[in-house]
């Protein structure tokens, strides 16, 4: 049986202030029921001012309540209600999470899902229509598995994890607590491995490992994380992965590392803690990237990188060296013209 709970969020200004630890300036009884950008808010909406570039909208905004910084100095008196906080961006993030989680809260198992009788299902779990969960899998308390998700055999899903429609999770994969996996992502597919036989034919390398994703990880849409040849492909706690990222077999990604869209990480590479990998970067196989490394967008990392380093380019080199080199590179046409002139004079 399936149950739907739709909650309309109606909060008074003083209640919002309590949530974000702020102070109300104006009518603390004014009611808000939606979130909006400051430049296009309407009556009943709640907005925030987190960037001084948007100060010009403060007087013209129609939002009923606006969250601002404690230090903001007003050029003119305002009739609308303000909530002053230490950090408007952090405060608004809390509200985004609050509104998002309460707009739709689902529990129960849809009658159109296919769940093996051996599956262990925790409390307040949701399984949407046409979701499939095969034998000996485990789903933790408060997890939400949306429509058309496939969970293979012996898959473990932790508590309070959200898996959006169309995700495919292969056999023996382990997903931790408080994770978010967006639509179209595939976890646990085979790695890309082939060996030539004596006749020159490609022989597939069978991958018998799995994927382990620790707690508080978010994975964007249409990503692929391949299982290990042996052992585990490992995504450690707090990692955030954008859309369209490829993580190959036996890769290890350290805690709290952030990876932007369209990154490709080849097999058996290791990425340290608190790294930042820019969009469209490529990382070769069997290398080690240290902690707190920054890889600029579209870089090609061909060798190991020590901790606390920033790299850029293809092949990637030290960021400052790249900038110095680029000054000369962009001037090459002028330099060549001068050289050609000199040769002509000879």
Residue 46, domain CATH: 3.40.1390.10
Q: E strands within 128-223?
A: 132-133, 138-139, 144-145, 150-151, 156-157, 162-163, 168-169, 174-175, 180-181, 186-189, 194-196, 202-204, 210-213, 218-219
Residue 323: which residues within 8 A CB-CB, separation 6 or more?
312
Minimal CA–CA distance to 127: which of 155, 98, 103? 155
Structure token digits, residue 49: 């001012």
Q: Are residues 93 and 148 in the same domain?
A: no
Q: Which of 52, 75, 103 is the last residue of a domain?
A: 103
Q: Which of 49, 68, 103 is the last residue of a domain?
A: 103
Identify whether 252 is part of a domain.
yes
Q: Are residues 99 and 110 in the same domain?
A: no
Identify whether 329 is part of a domain.
no
Which segments of the chain have a pLDDT < 50? 1-7, 103
Q: Are residues 41 and 114 in the same domain?
A: no
Q: Which of 63, 80, 103 is the last residue of a domain?
A: 103
Identify whether 342 is part of a domain.
no
Identify whether 334 is part of a domain.
no
C-alpha pair distances (Å), 272 with each of 191, 228, 247, 293, 304: 21, 18, 14, 8, 11
Q: Are residues 276 and 308 in the same domain?
A: yes
Q: What is the pLDDT of residue 269?
A: 98
Identify whether 256 is part of a domain.
yes
Identify whether 186 is part of a domain.
yes
Structure token digits, residue 304: 């190991």
Q: Are residues 144 and 84 in the same domain?
A: no
> Of the listed 207, 249, 286, 328, which one is catalytic?
249
Q: What is the pLDDT of residue 76?
A: 81
Distance CA 57, CA 39 (A): 6
Identify whether 335 is part of a domain.
no
Q: Are residues 28 and 171 in the same domain?
A: no
Q: Are residues 83 and 203 in the same domain?
A: no
Overall number of domains in the chain: 2
Q: Are residues 148 and 241 in the same domain?
A: yes
Q: What is the pLDDT of residues 173-208, one digit of tens each?
A: 999 999 999 999 999 999 999 999 999 999 999 999
Q: Are residues 218 and 311 in the same domain?
A: yes
Q: Are residues 51 and 124 in the same domain?
A: no
What CATH number does residue 291 fall under?
2.160.10.10
Buried b (16+ CB within 10 A) or exposed e, 66-87: bbbbeeeeeeeeeebbbbbbee
Q: What is the pLDDT of residue 3?
A: 35
Is 207 catalytic? The answer is no
Q: Are residues 191 and 259 in the same domain?
A: yes
Distance CA 143, CA 154 (A): 17
Q: Are residues 96 and 109 in the same domain?
A: no
Minimal CA–CA distance to 262: which of 251, 278, 286, 285? 278
Q: What is the pLDDT of residues 30-67, one digit of tens each?
A: 999 888 899 988 999 999 998 888 888 988 999 999 99
What is the span of the domain harbouring residue 182? 104-322
Identify whether 209 is part of a domain.
yes
Q: What is the pLDDT of residue 104?
A: 52
Entry pTM: 0.81
Q: What is the pLDDT of residue 79?
A: 84
């Amino acid at each position: 049986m399936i149950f739907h709970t739709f909650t309309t969020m109606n909060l008074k200004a003083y209640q919002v202030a309590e949530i974000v630890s702020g102070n109300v300036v104006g009518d603390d009884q004014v009611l808000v029921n939606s979130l909006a950008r400051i430049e296009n808010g309407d009556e009943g909406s709640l907005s925030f001012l987190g960037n001084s570039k948007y100060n010009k909208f403060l007087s013209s905004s129609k939002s009923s309540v606006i969250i601002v910084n404690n230090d903001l100095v007003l050029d003119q008196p305002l009739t609308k209600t303000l909530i002053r906080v230490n950090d408007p961006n952090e405060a608004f993030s809390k509200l985004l999470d609050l509104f998002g989680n309460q707009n739709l809260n689902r529990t129960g198992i849809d009658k159109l899902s296919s769940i093996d009788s051996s599956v262990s299902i925790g409390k307040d779990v949701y399984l949407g229509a046409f979701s499939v969960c095969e034998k000996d899998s485990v789903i933790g308390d408060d997890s939400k598995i949306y429509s058309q998700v496939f969970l293979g055999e012996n898959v473990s899903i932790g508590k309070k994890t959200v898996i959006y429609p169309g995700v495919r999770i292969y056999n023996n994969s382990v997903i931790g607590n408080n994770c978010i996996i967006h639509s179209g992502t595939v976890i646990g597919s085979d790695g890309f491995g082939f060996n030539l036989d004596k006749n020159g034919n490609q022989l597939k390398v069978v991958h018998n490992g799995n994927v382990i994703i620790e707690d508080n990880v978010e994975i964007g849409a249409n990503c692929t994380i391949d299982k290990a040849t042996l052992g585990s492909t490992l995504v450690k706690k707090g990692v955030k992965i954008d859309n369209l990222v490829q993580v190959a077999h036996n890769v290890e990604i350290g805690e709290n590392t952030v990876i932007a869209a369209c990154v490709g990480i080849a097999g058996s590479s290791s990425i340290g803690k608190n790294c930042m990998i820019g969009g469209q970067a490529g990382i070769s196989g069997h290398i080690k990237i240290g902690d707190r490394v920054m890889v600029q967008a579209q870089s090609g990392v061909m060798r190991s990188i020590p901790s606390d380093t920033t790299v850029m380019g293809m092949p990637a080199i030290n960021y400052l060296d790249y900038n110095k080199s680029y000054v000369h590179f962009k001037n090459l046409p002028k330099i060549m013209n001068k050289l050609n002139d000199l040769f002509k004079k000879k």
